Amino acid sequence: LIIVFFIKTPMIRNVCPYHTGETMWYRKSRRFRAERNFWLSLFTLVLWLLVLNIYALKKKIVRLKADLKTISSDGYKTQDGNAAMKKGE
């Protein structure tokens, strides 16, 4: 009796008596695609945040360079230690 039970019982664990194998593969493929799309969307979000951060840093560098030009043209000392001359002096 036990031998007959093991012979008639399928070895595949994901067998559903109400769905065919084709339906099960269809459901698995839908789940795989949904998970893949989630991870791709998350990766895209991380890349956009990285681009935003790099843009903000570059914008800050441009602003600081403009401030440095303003400061050095106002008569403060420049990086080489010499006082910058104002225009007209």
The predicted pLDDT at position 52 comes to 98
Q: Distance (Å, rounded) from C-alpha 41 to C-alpha 51?
A: 15
In this structure, are residues 24 and 16 in contact, taking their beta carbons and an 8 Å threshold?
A: yes
Of the two residues 51 and 7, the one the predictor is more confident about is 51
pTM above 0.85, yes or no: no
Going by C-alpha positions, the residue among 67, 64, 68 that lies closest to residue 79 is 68
Give every CB contact of residue 78 below 8 A, 6+ residues apart in sequence: 72, 84
Three-state DSSP class for residue 27? helix
Residue-wise pLDDT tens digits, 9-66: 555 555 566 667 778 888 889 999 999 999 999 999 999 999 999 999 999 999 999 8
The predicted pLDDT at position 22 comes to 77
